[in-house]
A and B are shown apart, each in its own frame.
Chain A
Amino acid sequence: MSKMQIKLTVNGRERELLAEPRELLIHLLREELNLTGPHIGCDTSHCGACTVEMDGKSVKSCTVFAAQANGAEVTTIEGLAEPGSLNVLQSAFREHHGLQCGFCTPGMITRAHRLLQENPDPSEEEVRFGMAGNLCRCTGYQNIVKSILAAATELNAAKEAAE
């Protein structure tokens, strides 16, 4: 099967490459573009370690073909903050010990980013439900929830201050 031309915007930068249609977006990101933050934790679309943002949606990039992503806008963990700085969620995960091995973290934070866009002031229950597509083997989730709630509080305070 022939390779096809894939054009997509990743972390704000237009990229053009050749890929087999069957190549999964996660492999395209990791192997072609060297964005190795998103991880692969399963082969059944459960774990969410490969979560990236695609056209304003949290998607598991292990369940999207490169061909489907043609023309899409993708953000990975590498694109969430300005180089050399941390975004609010990244700081909060550090502050509140929301990670241990760090393998689920890129997917967790990318998903949490979208969750807070859609629900800027979630309850604990809403955070747990909104993060249910992301598995973690280390933290027991408690500190991940704390991190996300803290980030929400900080974002809301900043928004209020700006108004």
Chain B
Amino acid sequence: MIPGAFEYYRPRGVEDAIAILQQHGDDARVMAGGHSLIPMMKLRMADVPHLIDLQDIASLKGITVSAGQVTLGAMVTQHELINSAELREAAPVLRETALQIADPQVRYCGTIGGNVANGDPGNDMPALMQCLDAEFTLVGPNGSRAIKAREFYEAAYMTGREDDEILTAIRFDVSGAGYAYEKQKRKIGDYATAAAAVLLTRENGMCTGASVALTNLSDVPVWSQAAGAALEGTDCNDAAIKAAVKAALAEADPTEDNRGPVAFKLHVAGIIIERAIRTAWQRA
């Protein structure tokens, strides 16, 4: 319950935050909504001698939909994602997913950037961002670079972000695809036993584009190219869905924990992936 002591900083610009990161190296960390970091600090599983609160950095806020692209500032909260009318129009899958994350209080604070940068395989947004083929903007001492969500996750809590970089924005294309985020969990606020994000494009009754990604079924989010390929060019009949589920499960690698043994998780995952595909196809 009681975190270790730290020096606190509340910079007003990204450059100032990066300067503090550079000065203190491993001893410094940025904090967004604080709803993963503070719990870890309270358990003393994270020791952060220099804590950089990003709440005053205006450039990290805001939802923009323009020229067929959605741009989300890293500090946009889950609550804001859910309540944005333009996002509901442009990418309804974000709202569907965010409503399955945590609980109201946590959603007022927790941010999209924190969710995707955290690196915990339990977080829901990373697989969704892979499904959407989103791109993350990272800003560091040498400027800014972009990295695909599909290339960002290396292992549990290990990502492509360098210690002196800040994830500032998330960008993806608006699409009219049918969508679904299906999540099996033990109760409100729990990380998924298994969850799946699916986007399907339908033209003349045929699936012309498919993207399938899995949450908490490996030490990283899993985007299954093979599952998408099994659906593309079909009319999403039972056989195609079965093949897609099989392809996705082949890439899942869950570990046993108190959500269940591996065989159970794979069984649950199969059902969840199928449901997500069927729902997305209905909406396509």
Residue ranges of A at the interface with B (Cβ–Cβ < 8 Å)? 1, 4, 20-22, 24, 40, 43-46, 48, 51, 57-60, 62-65, 67-68, 70, 111, 115, 130-133
Q: Would you mind naming 6 contact pairs between A and B with Cβ atoms under 8 Å apart? A: A24-B42, A45-B35, A58-B108, A65-B34, A65-B38, A133-B106
Asked if A130 and B104 sit within 8 Å, CB to CB, the answer is: yes
Contact between B106 and A57 (Cβ–Cβ < 8 Å)?
no
A67, B109: Cβ atoms under 8 Å? no
Cβ of B34: which chain A residues have Cβ within 8 Å of it? Answer: 63-65, 68
Specify which of B6, B41, B105, B188 is in contact with A58 (CB 8 Å cutoff): B105
A115 to B35, CA, bound (A): 20
Bound Cα distance A153, B2 (Å): 41
Indicate if the CB atoms of B105 and A43 lie closer than 8 Å.
no
CA distance A63 to B105 in the complex (A): 10
Residues of A within 8 A of B109 (CB): 57, 59, 63-64
Give A59 to B43 CA distance when docked, in angstroms: 20
With a cutoff of 8 Å between Cβ atoms, the chain B residues found around residue A40 in the complex are 1
Instruction: Enumerate chain B residues within 8 angstroms of A131, measured Cβ to Cβ.
Output: 104
The answer, yes or no, to whether B205 is at the interface (CB within 8 Å) is no
| Residue in contact with B106 in the complex, picked from A45, A67, A70, CB distance below 8 Å | A45
Q: Are the CB atoms of A57 and B108 closer together than 8 Å?
A: yes
- The answer to whether B108 and A22 have CB atoms under 8 Å apart is no
In the complex the two chains form, what is the Cα distance from A133 to B189 in whole Å?
A: 8
Given A1-B7, A21-B7, A64-B34, the answer on whether A46 and B108 have CB atoms closer than 8 Å is no
Contact A57 B5 (CB under 8 A): no
Chain B interface residue bracket vs A: 20 to 34
| Minimum CB distance partner of B187 in chain A | A132
Given contacts A1-B6, A58-B104, A60-B105, contact A68 B55 (CB under 8 A): yes
Across the interface, name the chain A residue whose C-beta is closest to B99.
A129
Q: Given A111-B104, A133-B106, are A43 and B6 also a contact pair (CB < 8 Å)?
A: no
Q: Which of A43, A59, A130 has the most CB of B within 10 A?
A: A59
Q: Give residues 31-50 of B contacting A (CB, 8 Å).
A: 34-35, 38-39, 41-43
Q: Which of B1-36 contact A (CB under 8 A)?
A: 1-8, 10, 34-35
Add 19 more A-B contacts to A43-B42, A59-B109, A133-B103 (CB < 8 A).
Answer: A1-B7, A4-B8, A21-B5, A21-B51, A22-B6, A46-B189, A48-B103, A57-B105, A58-B108, A59-B105, A62-B42, A63-B38, A63-B106, A63-B109, A65-B34, A111-B104, A132-B188, A133-B105, A133-B106
Evaluate contact between B104 and A65: CB separation under 8 angstroms: no
How far is it, in angstroms, between the C-alpha of A45 and the C-alpha of B110 when the chains are bound?
A: 12
Contact of A44 (CB < 8 Å), options: B39, B53, B79, B105 = B39
List A contacts of B43 (CB < 8 A): 43
For B51, the chain A residues whose CB sits under 8 A away are 21, 65, 67
Pair A22/B5 contact, Cβ less than 8 Å: yes
Instruction: Give A24 to B2 CA distance when docked, in angstroms.
Output: 8
Residue of B nearest to A51 (CB): B105
Taking CB atoms, residues of chain A closer than 8 Å to B79 are: 57
Cβ contacts B75-116/A at 8 Å (1 or 0 each): 000010000000000000000000000111110110000000
Residues of A within 8 A of B5 (CB): 1, 20-22
A62 to B41, CA, bound (A): 12
A133-B6 in contact given A57-B109, A68-B34, A68-B53 (Cβ < 8 Å)? no
Residues of chain B from 205 to 260 with CB closer than 8 A to chain A in the complex: none
Closest Cβ–Cβ distance, residue B225 to chain A (whole Å): 35
Closest residue of A by beta carbon distance from B51? A21
A58, B103: Cα distance in complex, Å: 11
Docked complex Cα distance between A83 and B283 (Å): 53
Is there contact, CB below 8 Å, between B1 and A43? Answer: yes
